[in-house]
């Protein structure tokens, strides 16, 4: 669905007088996500994942004000989603009221205007199940569980039946079972991805003359900047440096990452990181739509956001913020990035401060495993509150559930039928 799996990011300055209260409230929420008396993330409508993060500037002696980031992966347009939040989850006021100028959900028009003004669009956004709304994710998990229950119950009978008859009987038994399950047919939307690819190719053809003209001067500037970069000097195995949530990252099911780093000074680096992220966003929209990003299949949602420094200063400090919701441990996630997507990582983060030295935009950099991991840890932010709407499902679980349910009413060929039955 076109309106499913969207990204919303709000950044707002924290009122220093309310900081202590905000810390206490976020700790209360994190201590009991479902039953706390402040704000329950599960009250948010049509939400896949959400988090609250305090982004501080302690490493630079608080040159920039502390920000509260509210990051959401949701269904529906941003305006419709925010309107639904105001209706169904007004308790969010107890968190956001710590921000400067926050009007409260009871002032609906002012609230929507404030949220829109503090919204930052993603420079690049990826999801492992693009276009699949949360209600379908939850429903299809329940359908899969019901089909497995029926298959286990009637295993003796099914062992004597041909595959298509097993499918038919499972379908009829499921329809006669739990009335809450939605078993209505939903067609695959391969035409969407095909049209997207055609549009991307057409855009590339149109832009090619411009790219040919600028690529040479841009490359010369890149090499000049790369030669001037300082070596990071990371030579030791990764250390947590007091990172307060490291013990939470050993969960093998789901984890999250919030990462904030300064973009290297100058217009050239800002332009380059924007161009790279624009390309990644295009690829994630029309190419990487089947559950993997550059060979990485553990990412539920990920996005990069450029936070510009709006001060009128000689050298503004623009920052690059990365949010990710992923499967497995921190170590396995970073290792997968290095093994399968080090060139993409280097293309993005070689434009940021402290990243291991790179060459020709794509090379070296993230391939230095220990340096890359230590750099990542050094710029990782503690996420105060994180909530998953599908806490027991991996990306592959979600995709399998959806694939199985969407083919419940379809006539499958031999290979597809074999896979369909294996999933049970």
Is 1 contained in some domain? no
Between 185 and 370, whose confidence is greater?
370
Is 105 contained in some domain? yes
Q: Average pLDDT of 95-121? A: 96
pLDDT band, very low/low/confident/very high, at 244 (cuts 50, 70, 90): low
User: Quick one: which of 126, 123, 99, 122 has its CA closest to 111?
Assistant: 99
Give the CATH number for residue 103: 3.30.70
Q: Are residues 58 and 146 in the same domain?
A: no
Is 213 contained in some domain? yes
Evaluate if residue 207 carries a pLDDT over 70. Answer: no
pLDDT the model gives residue 340: 83
Q: Are residues 332 and 252 in the same domain?
A: yes
Is 240 contained in some domain? yes
User: Quick one: which of 395, 393, 419, 394 has its CA closest to 406?
Assistant: 419
Report the alpha-carbon distance of residue 256 to residue 120 in Å, rounded.
20
Q: Quote the Cα angle for 61-321-224, to 5°.
A: 85
Tokens standing for residue 3: 């309106």
Q: Which residues contact 102 (CB under 8 A, 6 or more apart)?
A: 12, 93, 96, 114
Q: Are residues 273 and 414 in the same domain?
A: no
Report the alpha-carbon distance of residue 239 to residue 233 in Å, rounded.
14
Q: What is the pLDDT of the chain when averaged over all its residues?
A: 88
Q: Are residues 199 and 339 in the same domain?
A: yes
Q: What is the β-pairing status of strands 319-327 and 358-359?
A: unpaired
Lowest mean pLDDT among 119-123, 239-243, 275-279: 239-243
Asked which of 87, 120, 153 is the last residue of a domain, the reply is 120
Q: Are residues 56 and 182 in the same domain?
A: no
Report the alpha-carbon distance of residue 323 to residue 71 in Å, rounded.
8
Between 335 and 387, whose confidence is greater?
387
Report the alpha-carbon distance of residue 352 to residue 265 in Å, rounded.
9
- Taking a C-beta distance cutoff of 8 angstroms, is the pair 333, 255 a contact? yes
Q: Within 10 A of 113 (CB to CB), how many other CB atoms are there?
A: 12
- Report how far apart, in Å, the C-alpha atoms of 286 and of each of 127, 279, 364 are: 12, 11, 28
Tokens standing for residue 304: 């990069």
Between 239 and 365, whose confidence is greater?
365
> How many domains would you assign to the chain?
3
Q: Are residues 167 and 205 in the same domain?
A: no
Q: Are residues 200 and 179 in the same domain?
A: no
Q: Quote the Cα angle for 173-399-306, to 5°.
A: 145
Report the alpha-carbon distance of residue 275 to residue 282 in Å, rounded.
11
What residues make up the domain containing 401? 134-188+394-422
Report the alpha-carbon distance of residue 295 to residue 202 in Å, rounded.
25
Q: Are residues 383 and 399 in the same domain?
A: no
Q: Within 10 A of 270 (CB to CB), how many other CB atoms are there?
A: 18
pLDDT the model gives residue 90: 96
Q: Write the Ramachandran bin of 291: left for phi over 0, alpha for psi from -120 to 50, otherwise beta.
A: left
Mind listing the pLDDT tens digit for each residue in 147-191?
A: 999 999 988 888 889 999 988 999 998 888 888 898 887 766 666
Mind listing the pLDDT tens digit for each residue in 35-56?
A: 999 999 999 999 999 999 999 9
Is 265 contained in some domain? yes
User: Quick one: which of 73, 54, 59, 97 has its CA closest to 4?
Assistant: 73
pLDDT the model gives residue 272: 94
Q: Average pLDDT of 202-227? A: 75
Q: Are residues 199 and 160 in the same domain?
A: no
- Taking a C-beta distance cutoff of 8 angstroms, is the pair 134, 390 a contact? yes
Asked which of 95, 120, 145 is the last residue of a domain, the reply is 120
SS3 278: helix
Q: Are residues 198 and 176 in the same domain?
A: no
- Taking a C-beta distance cutoff of 8 angstroms, is the pair 320, 260 a contact? yes
Between 210 and 24, whose confidence is greater?
24
pLDDT the model gives residue 197: 66
Evaluate if residue 246 carries a pLDDT over 60. Answer: no
Q: Are residues 241 and 384 in the same domain?
A: yes
Q: CB burial class (10 A; 0-12, 13-18, 19+) of residue 194?
A: exposed
Report the alpha-carbon distance of residue 233 to residue 219 in Å, rounded.
26
Q: Are residues 88 and 233 in the same domain?
A: no
């Amino acid at each position: 669905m076109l309106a499913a799996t969207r990204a919303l990011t709000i950044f707002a300055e924290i009122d220093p007088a309310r900081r202590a209260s905000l810390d206490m409230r976020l700790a209360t929420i994190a201590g009991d996500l479902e039953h706390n008396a402040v704000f329950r993330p599960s009250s948010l409508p049509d939400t896949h994942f959400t988090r609250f993060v305090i982004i501080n500037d302690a490493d630079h002696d608080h040159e920039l004000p502390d920000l509260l980031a509210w990051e959401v992966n949701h269904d529906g347009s941003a305006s419709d989603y925010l309107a639904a939040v105001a209706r169904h989850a007004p308790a969010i006021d107890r968190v956001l009221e710590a921000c400067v100028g926050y009007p409260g959900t009871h002032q609906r028009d002012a609230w929507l205007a404030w949220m829109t003004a503090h919204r930052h669009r993603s420079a690049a956004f990826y999801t492992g199940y693009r276009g699949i709304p949360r209600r379908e994710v939850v429903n299809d998990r329940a359908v899969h569980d019901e089909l497995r229950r029926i298959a286990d119950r009637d295993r003796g009978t099914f062992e004597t039946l041909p595959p298509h008859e097993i499918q038919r009987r499972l379908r009829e038994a499921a329809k006669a079972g739990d009335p809450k399950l939605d078993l209505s047919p939903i067609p695959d939307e391969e035409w969407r991805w095909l049209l997207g690819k055609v549009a991307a190719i057409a855009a590339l053809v149109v832009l090619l003359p411009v790219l040919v003209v600028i690529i040479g001067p841009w490359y010369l500037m890149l090499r000049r900047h790369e030669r001037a970069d300082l070596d990071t000097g990371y030579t030791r195995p990764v250390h947590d440096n007091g990172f307060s949530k490291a013990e939470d990252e050993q969960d093998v099911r789901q984890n999250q990452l919030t990462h904030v780093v300064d973009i290297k000074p100058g217009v050239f680096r800002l332009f380059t990181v924007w161009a790279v992220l624009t390309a990644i966003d295009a690829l994630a929209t029309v190419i990487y739509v089947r559950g993997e990003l550059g060979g990485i299949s553990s990412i539920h949602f990920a996005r990069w956001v450029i936070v510009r420094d709006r001060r009128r200063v000689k050298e503004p400090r623009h920052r690059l913020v990365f949010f990710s919701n992923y499967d497995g441990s921190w170590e396995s996630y970073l290792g997968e990035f290095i093994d399968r997507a080090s060139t993409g990582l280097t293309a993005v983060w070689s434009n940021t401060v402290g990243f291991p030295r790179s060459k020709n935009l794509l090379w070296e950099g993230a391939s230095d495993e220990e340096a890359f991991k230590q750099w990542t840890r050094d710029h990782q932010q503690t996420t105060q509150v994180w909530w998953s709407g599908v806490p027991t499902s991996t990306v592959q679980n979600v995709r399998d559930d959806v694939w199985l349910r969407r083919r419940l009413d379809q006539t499958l060929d031999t290979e597809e039928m074999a896979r369909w039955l294996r999933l049970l």
